Amino acid sequence: MVQMKFELMRDFVDDVVNRNAGQRSRLTAILHEIQKKYKYLPEQALRYVAEIMKIPISDIYGVATFYTSFSIEPKGRHIITVCMGTACHVRKSPSVLEEICRYLGVNPGETTKDMRFTVETVNCLGACAMGPIMVVDGSYYGEMDASKVVPILEKYKEEREIISVDPTGKITIPEELEAYRHFVKEKRYPNGTKSIDICCGPGCAALGSLEIADTIEAALKLHGLDGEIIVRRTGCRGFCERGPIVVVKPEGIFYNKVSRKDAPSIVERSVVNDETIEPLLYEDPSDGKKYLREEEIPFYKKQKMVVLANNLEIDSCSIDDYIAKGGYGALRKALFEMSPEEIINEVEAAGLRGRGGGGFPAARKWRACRNARSIDGVKYVLCNADEGDPGAFMDRSLLEGNPHQIIEGMVIGAYAIGATNGYVYVRHEYPTALERITFAIEQAREKGFLGKNILGSGFSFDIGISQGGGAFVCGESTALMASIEGRIGEPREKYIHTAVRGLYLRPTNLNNVETWANIPIIINEGAQKFASLGTEGSKGTKIFSLVGKIRNTGLVEVPMGITLREIIYDIGGGIPNNKRFKAVQTGGPSGGCIPESLIDLPVDFDRLTEVGSMMGSGGMIVMDEDTCMVDIARYFLEFLGDESCGKCTPCREGLKHMTEIVRDICQGKGTMDQLDTLEELAAVVRDTSLCGLGQTAPNPVLSTITYFRKEYEEHINLKKCRAGVCKALITYRIDPGLCTGCMKCLKSCPVEAISGERKEPHIIYNAKCEKCGVCFDICQYDAVIRE
């Protein structure tokens, strides 16, 4: 019996390894397939992989234990994943996790004894606008709180089938491209014809937009309109808070919070009869005003859609849509009208700085790589789609919404640099993005935008896909390259730049998704126009994911130089529930918290760095008075400690002790001496760490100490958490004078810590109370007091 299972496993492994051509660079992909099949990595399977691929088992074991998405322990039948990303954290995902663990009697990372459930955490699923997010076997549950946990998990007691939804002639001379463009324009955008655009970005899809699209298609068929009206499944339109979003064109009528049952009436009323459906129009919550068109809505008004513009216009799986909108025109121009040097000069004149975090001038990197010698002529360009910053989903939305713009940018860059091969490195948590970019690469290859002799120019270049395995540090350039090579994603020193010695020791240029997506725009419209937006040192636009305690959550694209206040108040609509703004966190785990006093700061690489934060990749997490700044520092430290690769002493050991100190402070056990030690240690970690992770890890702590020192001191000296977040420092009670005995809290308390009769004041038993805060949030009479 055992023997037979072993044989089958060998067959399976043989097959997987063969399909990946036995290449070491496909090792993570191979392990992902094995993991998917067995839900963990069985020892025999790994030993067999080592045997047939001739890789030391110690290397494979290292890789298998390095990436969090692999497990060498068997897992349960249902995998529950709770997002612990920053956006979900500030919306209380920890209390959701606690409740799951309490209910199932396990700790995070463990499997129930009956092998039914495994509880896992993840740092951001890129659906932050719907946070806190819980995923069970691939089904998303948004806007969770502790009281919703048990009813959902009960459903999985009976086994359930989960159906996942899968989205579903070569050009050899430049003139053919224009002819083809003309042809698809006629086909996809004939004059006066309507289209219905359904947002199928991550947020809207989590709320069922894929089913809405199917229903609309069916309804069109019913009316015999399926040939005439184009249904577009677009990428994220930014306003995820209001999803699912449907836009009827060419009028541009914007319907929000659409449900599946609204879908037929959109076809009947809005398309067939030309009516508008009042109840589906957007209503501004602050003044009750209704808006008809997308561009009139305040959320969109101050935005400047440049990079994201096509997300609103094209079907994300249609290369024809992209071409009809002028796609691959920049590539044609670059290949046939510009020399590599001219392209680099243009990018330089545009002042494009990297959008992945560091803000390094793109042209300078390109030039260094162009000038570097390669022993065999091979050079690489890479696209960093690791987007590890929890609470950010800009890159995900571009990859899913408009993958061809990224590919076009990469081919132009490759031509300018003289690169021969490319890779897109996609994080494992983004399966849809992976599918879309893979599909887009195939389409581009079919059309002749990739491969040998592109558009007849004589230039050849192709792109492969590489997949991460759940490791934030793999966003770092050298770790990313190690990971592509199939090794542990461990950074190394870059005293010799990767532009000279990178992937497989060849000259390599790495840019972020958004950086690449800017390139076709610069080539098409010219450096001057691009640089007309922005500040002295920061040109163009930047996409942010605006999340946390803010009314309009979603993706926003703004001109550089806009103030934080404009983003938060004019675009974001301010803080909900009459709460006070406290701070905004930018730059992800490497960034810092910017206090209210600096809210008029312009968005600019250098200005953000000056105040102890950074632009980062574009996460912008808004915090209100209910956010504890010490808790936020603890959150980021724990995140970074988990994500540290563990190679160098200051980061591995330093972060561990920094976390311990901040944890002590959160529990009211900290001392002022420890606070001094914390600052001293933070300075050394920043100064001596090997890679960017450790070097920037102290930022969240240092910036909160700088701007919110008082809160630290209150935790230490007064044992008080003014935001009411640090559980050791708060208690809940019910004010008998205010309690009406409505029983709402009693019913929602997950641990039955509340008792009372109808219409009588209720009581909380402190010994039982888990301090989840559900009663506090649910009471309509403000009778639950937190102190």
Ligand X SMILES: Cc1cc2nc3c(=O)[nH]c(=O)nc-3n(C[C@H](O)[C@H](O)[C@H](O)COP(=O)(O)O)c2cc1C
644 contacts other proteins (rule: CB under 8 A): yes
Helix segments in 448-526, DSSP class H: 477-484, 513-525
- Cα of first residue to Cα of last residue in the chain, in angstroms, is 61
Least Å distance between CB 715 and other proteins?
A: 19
Answer whether 568's CB lies under 8 Å from 622's CB: yes
d(CA 375, CA 775): 67
Q: Which residue in the set 41, 119, 258, 693 belongs to the binding site for ligand SF4 (CB under 6 A)?
A: 693
Burial group, residue 566, by CB count within 10 angstroms (0-12, 13-18, 19+)? middle
128 contacts ligand FES (rule: CB under 6 A): yes
724 contacts ligand X (rule: CB under 6 A): no
**The amino acid at 559:** P
Q: Which is nearer to ligand FES, 489 or 650 (CB)?
A: 650
Judged by beta carbon distances under 5 to 8 A according to partner kind, the member of ligand FES, ligand X, other proteins, none in contact with residue 124 is ligand FES
Q: Is 554 helix (H, G, I), strand (E, B) or coil?
A: strand
**The amino acid at 563:** T
Residue with the shortest CB distance to ligand SF4: 694
477 contacts ligand X (rule: CB under 6 A): yes
d(CA 346, CA 366): 12
Secondary structure of 350-410 as H, E, C letters: HCCECCCCCCCEHHHHHHHHHHCCCCCCCCEEEEEECCCCCCCCHHHHHHHHCHHHHHHHH
Binders of ligand SF4 among residues 636 to 665 (CB under 6 A) are 644-648, 651-652
470 contacts ligand X (rule: CB under 6 A): no
Number of residues engaging ligand SF4 in binding (CB under 6 A)? 27
> Which tokens is 620 given?
């912008």
d(CA 682, CA 687): 9
Burial group, residue 678, by CB count within 10 angstroms (0-12, 13-18, 19+)? buried
Q: Which residue in the set 6, 61, 103, 180 belongs to the binding site for other proteins (CB under 8 A)?
A: 61
d(CA 747, CA 755): 10
Q: Which is nearer to ligand SF4, 199 or 648 (CB)?
A: 648
Q: Which residue in the set 42, 94, 131, 572 belongs to the binding site for ligand FES (CB under 6 A)?
A: 131
Least Å distance between CB 466 and other proteins?
A: 19
d(CA 432, CA 299): 27
Q: Is 627 helix (H, G, I), strand (E, B) or coil?
A: coil
32 contacts ligand SF4 (rule: CB under 6 A): no
**The amino acid at 519:** I
Residue showing tokens 């999803």: 243
At 761, phi and psi to the nearest 5? -60, 140
Q: Which residue in the set 76, 94, 243, 354 belongs to the binding site for ligand FES (CB under 6 A)?
A: 243
63 contacts ligand FES (rule: CB under 6 A): no
Using the contact rule CB under 6 A, the part of the chain among 98-106, 337-345, 355-363, 529-537 near ligand X is 355-363
Q: What is the DSSP string of 2-65?
A: HHHHHHHHHHHHHHHHHHTTT-GGGHHHHHHHHHHHHSS--HHHHHHHHHHHT--HHHHHHHHH
539 contacts ligand X (rule: CB under 6 A): no
Residue 140: which H helix or E strand, with range? strand 139-141
496 contacts other proteins (rule: CB under 8 A): yes
Judged by beta carbon distances under 5 to 8 A according to partner kind, the member of other proteins, ligand SF4, ligand X, none in contact with residue 769 is ligand SF4
d(CA 215, CA 233): 12
Q: Is 245 helix (H, G, I), strand (E, B) or coil?
A: coil
Judged by beta carbon distances under 5 to 8 A according to partner kind, the member of ligand SF4, ligand X, ligand FES, none in contact with residue 388 is ligand X
Judged by beta carbon distances under 5 to 8 A according to partner kind, the member of ligand SF4, ligand X, ligand FES, none in contact with residue 773 is ligand SF4
Least Å distance between CB 369 and ligand SF4?
A: 23
772 contacts ligand X (rule: CB under 6 A): no
Using the contact rule CB under 8 A, the part of the chain among 404-412, 568-576, 687-695, 743-751 near other proteins is 687-695
657 contacts other proteins (rule: CB under 8 A): yes
Q: Which is nearer to other proteins, 56 or 737 (CB)?
A: 56
732 contacts ligand SF4 (rule: CB under 6 A): yes
660 contacts other proteins (rule: CB under 8 A): yes
Spatial CA neighbour of 447 closest among 232, 179, 166: 179
Binders of other proteins among residues 424 to 483 (CB under 8 A) are 471
Residue 178: which H helix or E strand, with range? helix 174-188
Q: Which is nearer to other proteins, 89 or 487 (CB)?
A: 487
d(CA 14, CA 617): 40
Judged by beta carbon distances under 5 to 8 A according to partner kind, the member of ligand FES, ligand X, other proteins, none in contact with residue 239 is ligand FES
610 contacts other proteins (rule: CB under 8 A): no
85 contacts ligand FES (rule: CB under 6 A): yes
Number of residues engaging other proteins in binding (CB under 8 A)? 42
Least Å distance between CB 499 and ligand X?
A: 11
9 contacts ligand SF4 (rule: CB under 6 A): no
Q: Residues interacting with ligand X, by CB under 6 A?
A: 354-358, 360, 384, 386-389, 472-473, 475-477, 510-512, 515, 617, 691-693
Q: Residues interacting with other proteins, by CB under 8 A?
A: 43, 46, 56-62, 65-66, 72, 471, 488, 492-493, 495-496, 641-650, 652-654, 656-657, 660, 677, 680-681, 684, 687-690
Q: Residues interacting with ligand SF4, by CB under 6 A?
A: 473, 491, 644-648, 651-652, 689-691, 693-694, 732, 749, 751, 753-754, 764, 769-775
